[in-house]
Amino acid sequence: MRQSLHETYVDLHSNPELSFEEHRTASRVVERLAALDYVVHAGIGGTGVVGVLVNGDGPCVLLRADMDALPVTEDTGLPYASTVRATTADGVESGIMHACGHDVHVTALLGAADLLAQGRSAWSGTLVVVFQPAEELGRGARAMVDDGLYDLVPRPDIVLGQHVAPVAAGLLGVHGGPAFAGTDSVDVRLVGRGGHGSRPEATVDPVVMAASTVLRLQTIVSREVAAGDAAVVTVGTMQAGTKDNIIPDEAYLGVNIRSYDEGVRDRVLASIERIVHGEAAAAGAPQPPQVTARDSFPPVVNDLVETERTRAALAAHFGADRVIDPGPVSGSEDVSVLATAAGAPIVFWLLGGWDPAAYQAAARAGTVDRDIPSNHSPRFAPVPHPTLEIGVEALVVAALDHFGRPATD
């Protein structure tokens, strides 16, 4: 299986596709699942693919992987590095890369689907494998649900999945309760009054307004969120002007929020609204700013009982020293939408993907944050082995632990 996994991974890594554009990836998935005798449903939520394998009476277990890549130009130096370029929905031409490891996820789930199909004598129940589009937009899971996912396939009794992380390959990270943060994206439009750069007194400068707003937004977490709570506020985009001697009419900010608690989330969003309007008023803006919520998806809250059950199964298979508790992760995932829509518990864990020697060297030097590229970095490069094999085994072990046992004569 190692060779098959490697070939699949290299193919996917070299041919990444943006959110809701995963046509080639989806076609590969359909071919593989059909060959394994799964009942296949394609085109759900755009490009989503689902395979169903009914194997007698028992629980319904859903395993999920996401398929989309990012508008990132790859800088890993790998022999199979992506050279694909595409134009984003915003009209920006960019290199395209699996900078978040979704190629690992798809490969591992295909491997698990294969092993579970071959080993039907060891379990009883219904297996649903979901290959989801557009996780990076936080809209893919919702698109599949809204497109009638659970009218086509049985509602699961448990939702399971994993996300590759810049942790030493060979480790799995399992945390009960709030495991991945919820996220909100907010667009801000600040309106000034443009003019010549030599006569700022005749203008209301939206660039200065934007700069003040960015700095003030940084006080939300440090001064408005309790020390025992957690939140992140990041201004990821700032756009204004076309020339150095022209003061523009408008400036734009793109703000991202991460939180685990609904009350904290509401407070942070209200604070952003207040600060943006306050800075605009202080600058004498000729009209109020616009604050528009764009994308939002909830935190992943792992079921405590089912998480402990899965953790124990993984520890029994891999060894207790290889199953760690990473604590809550500030990254976000929309996989919980699949569980919530089905009324099912979820267990979602981290899959270590970094070269163990390199990771341990960085850990000893205290330079993990500098030397180990994170997800979304152009240098994010999980080692295929043993990452893929462990990813396959983890999905299979977790699924088997939740399935029933076949009846015996």
Chain segment 98-143, per-residue pLDDT in tens: 999 999 999 999 999 999 999 999 999 999 999 999 999 999 999 9
pLDDT of residue 325: 97
Element (H, E) at 306: helix 304-318
How many other C-beta atoms lie within 10 A of the C-beta of residue 399? 25
Residue 404's pLDDT is 77
3-state secondary structure of 216: helix
192-217 as b/e, with b when 16 or more CB fall inside 10 Å? bbbbeeeeeeebbbbbbbbebbbebb
Alpha-helical segments (H) within 15-57:
23-35
Find all residues with CB under 8 Å of 208, minimum gap 6, and list them. 283
Q: Which two tokens stand for residue 321?
A: 């020293």
Cα-based distances in Å from 17 to 68, 80, 96, 293, 354: 6, 15, 7, 26, 23
pTM of the shown model: 0.91
Q: Walk me through the domains of the chain, giving residue ranges and CATH numbers.
A: 2-181+299-402 (3.40.630.10), 186-296 (3.30.70.360)
What's the whole-number mean pLDDT along residues 180-199?
A: 97
Looking at the DSSP bridge assignments, the partners of residue 45 are none
Contact 147, 332 (CB under 8 A): no
At 284 the pLDDT is: 97
For residue range 365-405, list pLDDT tens digits in order.
Answer: 999 999 999 999 999 999 999 999 999 999 999 999 999 77
**Element spanning 293, H or E:** strand 290-297
Q: What is the pLDDT of residue 265?
A: 96
pLDDT of residue 1: 79
**Cβ(349)–Cβ(172) below 8 Å:** yes
Question: Tens digit of pLDDT for each residue in 36-55?
Answer: 999 999 999 999 999 999 99
Q: 364 exposed, middle or buried (CB, 10 Å; 0-12, 13-18, 19+)?
A: exposed
Helix (H) or strand (E) holding 54: strand 48-55
Residue 347's nearest CA partner among 188, 143, 174, 183 is 174
pLDDT for res 407: 58
Of the candidates 103, 68, 74, the one whose C-alpha atom is nearest the C-alpha of residue 88 is 68
Q: Quick one: how far is CA 187 from the chain centroid?
A: 20
Terminus-to-terminus CA distance in the chain, angstroms? 32
Q: What is the mean pLDDT of residues 255-274?
A: 96
* DSSP string computed for 80-126: T----EEE-TTS-EEE-B-TT-HHHHHHHHHHHHHHHHHTGGG-BEE
Quick one: residue 268, left, alpha or beta (phi over 0 = left, psi -120 to 50 = alpha)? alpha
Cβ–Cβ under 8 Å, residues 126 and 58: yes
Contact 51, 150 (CB under 8 A): no
pLDDT number for residue 409: 43
Average pLDDT, the chain: 96
Judge contact between 91 and 18, C-beta under 8 A: no
Residue 168's contacts (CB-CB under 8 Å, 6 or more residues apart) are 352, 354, 355, 356, 359, 360
> Binning pLDDT at 50, 70 and 90, where does residue 92 land?
confident
pLDDT surpassing 80 at residue 408: no
Q: What is the pLDDT of residues 285-336, one digit of tens each?
A: 999 999 999 888 899 999 999 999 999 999 999 999 999 999 999 999 999 9
